[in-house]
Chain A
Amino acid sequence: MPAGRGARLLRSPGFAVGAAIVGFAAIVALLAPWIVPYDPFAIDLDRRLVPPSFMEGGDPRNFLGTDQLGRDYFSRLIYGTRISMVIGVLTVITSGLIGITLGILGGFYGGKVDDAVVFAITTRLSIPAVLVALAVAALRGSSFMLVVLVLGLLLWDRFAVVARSTTMQIRNLDYVAAAWCAGVSRWWVLTREVLPNIATHLAVVATLEMALAILLEAALSFLGLGVPPPLPSWGLMISEAKEYMFFSPWVIIVPGAALFVLVMGVNLLGDALRDMMGTDLSR
């Protein structure tokens, strides 16, 4: 990457905000066991639905209050960061491996191989992802790893589309075609020309998919078929608290806002990356 691009990326406000949010979330996720004020699973039925400390009726001991089982909301929120981040990253790795492999195969070899890849992408897109994920979770019994696996198996389409089209473009560049004709190995073209050139495009897709995975995990957990209780997934926290939302709206505002901010941060990173490349590609 030329120095100019990197410098422009670092200067863009979107990148700064996005990196700050995601970086902060990553640190919180990593250090969760050491920074939580209380055990996020410790139930205290005598102190249920205590409002956050800054609200009327709040208790300074619980910064963000307690949930319907008296568990410390702030501690649960911190552990929830861990769940969202891990699911986001693992899903991107799984779906990235599937999608990039398929996309490069199709774009690189063309012909029948490409037809098969396009067919796989079309089929995947026609399957309603949320519904299938829910059905699988219901059949196999929901668990953390199952969510990762299902999302990973469902969210590879965009990786494949982008990897395929960029591989094709690069494969058809004059100098690459010339090198090809001159008899260099496929491996050489793939590792020296294709992979480095599609890496930035795939980085953009990775951020988009991570954001989507985080949102979908929350939706699945919200519907009760994602991460199983008592794990403090943000989606599950909203689901468990929604009966109380009309009297204490903060019980859904707190985890929802966390989800919104994290997804926003990931998207900001992706947009900054895309802008950086977009302007460079058009020149």
Chain B
Amino acid sequence: MLRFFVRRFAVAVLVALTVLTLAFMLTRLSGDLAISIAGPNATAADVEQIRQVYGLNRPLYVQYLDWLGRALQGDFGESYFFRDRVAKLIAGRMPVTVTLGLVGLSIALVVSLPLGILAAVKEGTWVDRLVGVFAMIGQAMPSFWLGLLLMIVFGLQLAWLPISGVESWDGFILPGVVLAFSAIPSLTRLTRSGMIEALASDYIRTARAKGLTRLSILVKHGFRNAAIPVVSIAAVQLGFMLGGSIVIETVFALHGVGYLAWESISKNDFPVVQAVVLVLALIYIGLTLLADLLNAVLDPRLRTG
């Protein structure tokens, strides 16, 4: 068990290092970074000066090692556009993105767990089919489009909720719902299939033979086992949600990390883009580690095996 986690952790570190390297290579894709930074109206002298200032005239491996060394200490350099430390910028925007992710995940769980259980209990009936259709719709819904539609309906026509910004808590509702939609289909399906498997198992028959109540059979004995994969996938889904927050933050003008990345991309502010890619990747890696840990906590066969 411990050995598994040591190995798992080592792999995570290796993946993180690889992503670090890829993030560096990403910004060098354009050929000459200095020209990109200088913009279309720059003179040759301007470009040369930028090269000097940002150290882009050094050999590539020196730049790489320099960047790697700093990144490992949490120093992602300075933003070209915001004239501020990148790490500080990201830290300042993180709360909005994390709140959005957690709101989205909560909504997704609140919707998909009961729906999945319901579909499993009513397997093969019209209720089950209806839940399937709902999941199908969620899967096909383009998130930015859903966001715009919700803005038209709830923001403008009904005027219930703000359509952009998060000056108050209710600004998170619409973007949270949109974000939740990206996780609802898979979580619902997973809950359903896990519950169907659990309910068909011998230990459910035993629980019924013990005369336990229907609720206890469904929740305590059925869902407890179906929940194991759901919990770990939920953690992974949160990672995907944060990674995909760029679209939703842009639609709703939420000034989170995704929005920061979008601004930086359009302003050729590469140190920021690089760092956001890296931070989101690290969060994802951390969440998958957490998912494995949760799995072990929830499944006694792994914990005490």
Contact = CB atoms under 8 A, between A and B. Distances in A.
A and B in contact, CB less than 8 Å: yes
Contacts of B145: 218, 238, 252, 256, 259-260
Contacts of A224: 266
A184 B301 CA distance: 40
A131 B243 contact: yes
Given A130-B247, A131-B277, A238-B148, A268 B136 contact: yes
B11 interface: yes
A140 B265 CA distance: 12
Nearest to A262: B140
Contacts, number: 125
A223 B258 CA distance: 12
B139 A135 contact: no
B247 A222 contact: yes
B247 A135 contact: no
Contact of A134 (B149, B152, B262): B262
Nearest to A134: B265
A218 B142 contact: yes
A57 interface: no
Which residue among A211, A235, A260 has the maximum number of chain B CB atoms within 10 Å of its CB? Answer: A260
B284 interface: yes
A132 interface: yes
Contact of A138 (B15, B243, B266, B276): B266
A141 to B, nearest CB: 9
A245 B142 contact: no
A134 B246 contact: yes
A281 interface: no
B15 A135 contact: no
A253 to B, nearest CB: 7
Given A132-B277, A139-B27, A245-B152, A127 B19 contact: yes
Contacts of A260: 140-142, 145
A222 B144 contact: yes
Nearest to B145: A256
Contacts of B26: 132, 135-136, 139
Contact of A264 (B140, B268, B273): B140
Interface size class of B (residues with CB under 8 A): 35 or more
Contacts of A225: 265
Interface string A239-283: 000100110010011001001110110011001000000000000
B304 interface: no
A119 interface: yes
A130 B29 contact: no
B18 interface: yes
Contacts of B262: 134, 223
A126 interface: yes
B297 interface: no
B247 to A, nearest CB: 5
Interface string A130-170: 11101110111000000000000000000000000000000
Q: Quick one: which of B36, B148, B239 has the most chain A CB within 10 A?
A: B148
Contact of A135 (B18, B265, B288): B265
B244 A128 contact: yes
A127 B156 CA distance: 36
Given A134-B246, A225-B265, A263 B11 contact: no
Given A139-B29, A222-B247, A125 B284 contact: yes
A245 B142 CA distance: 16
Contacts of A122: 11, 15, 288
A219 B247 CA distance: 7
A191 B247 CA distance: 42
A139 B28 CA distance: 9
Please indicate which of the listed interface residues A123, A235, A253 has the most CB atoms of chain B within 10 Å of its own CB. Answer: A123
Contacts of B30: 139-140
A218 B243 CA distance: 17
Interface of B: 11, 14-16, 18-19, 22, 26-27, 29-30, 36, 136-137, 139-145, 148-149, 152, 156, 239, 242-244, 246-247, 250, 258, 261-262, 265-266, 268, 273, 276-277, 280-281, 284-285, 288
Closest 4 CB pairs of A and B: A128-B243, A256-B145, A264-B140, A139-B30
Interface of A: 119, 122-123, 125-132, 134-136, 138-140, 211, 215, 218-219, 222-225, 235, 238, 242, 245-246, 249, 252-253, 256, 259-261, 263-264, 267-268, 271
15 contacts: A119-B14, A122-B11, A122-B15, A126-B19, A127-B281, A128-B246, A128-B280, A131-B261, A135-B26, A138-B273, A139-B36, A219-B247, A252-B149, A256-B148, A261-B140
